[in-house]
């Protein structure tokens, strides 16, 4: 029989994550860790790039920085939530912002403090 931990690992290996942060080094490091744990990862350093990548990639999860250089994370989220194929996507604000109420009202499901702690992110 298969153990529940095996099933969790199998489900994780099929999950797609879009990381959107203007810090390319942070994106690359976090992407490498996530890929090592079986996730499929795409990265974007601008809001515009995230909007280009998301429709074809169809992420299960989006980690989205609020303070992007071109389009703020709130506007990116608004566009992403309107895209076909992303209706079941979970959106996480990658931010130091302390206003969970505003983040939830905008449509974020969770807030992950920057810099993200990997073990908390996996949970």
Residue 121 has pLDDT above 90, yes or no: no
Tell me what the mean pLDDT of segment 101-113 comes to: 88
Q: How far is CA 99 from the centre of its chain?
A: 19
93 DSSP β-pair partners: 64, 111
Q: How far is CA 73 from CA 5, 70, 81, 98, in A?
A: 34, 9, 12, 15
Of 10-14, 16-20, 29-33, the range with the lowest mean pLDDT is 10-14
Nearest to 122 by CA among 107, 104, 108, 110: 110
Residue 53 has pLDDT above 60, yes or no: yes
Residue 16 has pLDDT above 50, yes or no: yes
- For 122, the 3-state DSSP assignment is helix
Interatomic CA distance for residues 42 and 39, integer angstroms: 10
Report the chain's terminal Cα–Cα distance, integer Å.
Answer: 25
Of 27-36, 48-57, 58-67, 89-98, the range with the lowest mean pLDDT is 89-98
pLDDT score of 90: 96
pLDDT score of 74: 95
Residue 13 has pLDDT above 70, yes or no: no
Interatomic CA distance for residues 7 and 74, integer angstroms: 34
């Amino acid at each position: 029989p298969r153990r529940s931990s095996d099933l969790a690992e199998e489900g994780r290996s099929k999950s797609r994550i879009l990381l959107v942060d203007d810090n390319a080094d942070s994106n690359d490091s976090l992407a490498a860790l996530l890929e090592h744990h079986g996730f499929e990862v795409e990265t974007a350093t601008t809001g515009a790039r995230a909007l280009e990548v998301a429709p074809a990639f169809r992420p299960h999860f989006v980690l989205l920085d609020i303070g992007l250089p071109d389009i703020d994370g709130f506007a990116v989220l608004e566009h992403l939530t309107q895209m076909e194929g992303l209706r079941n996507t979970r959106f996480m604000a990658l931010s130091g912002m302390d206003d969970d109420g505003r983040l939830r009202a905008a449509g974020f499901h969770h807030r992950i403090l920057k810099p993200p702690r990997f073990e908390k992110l996996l949970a």
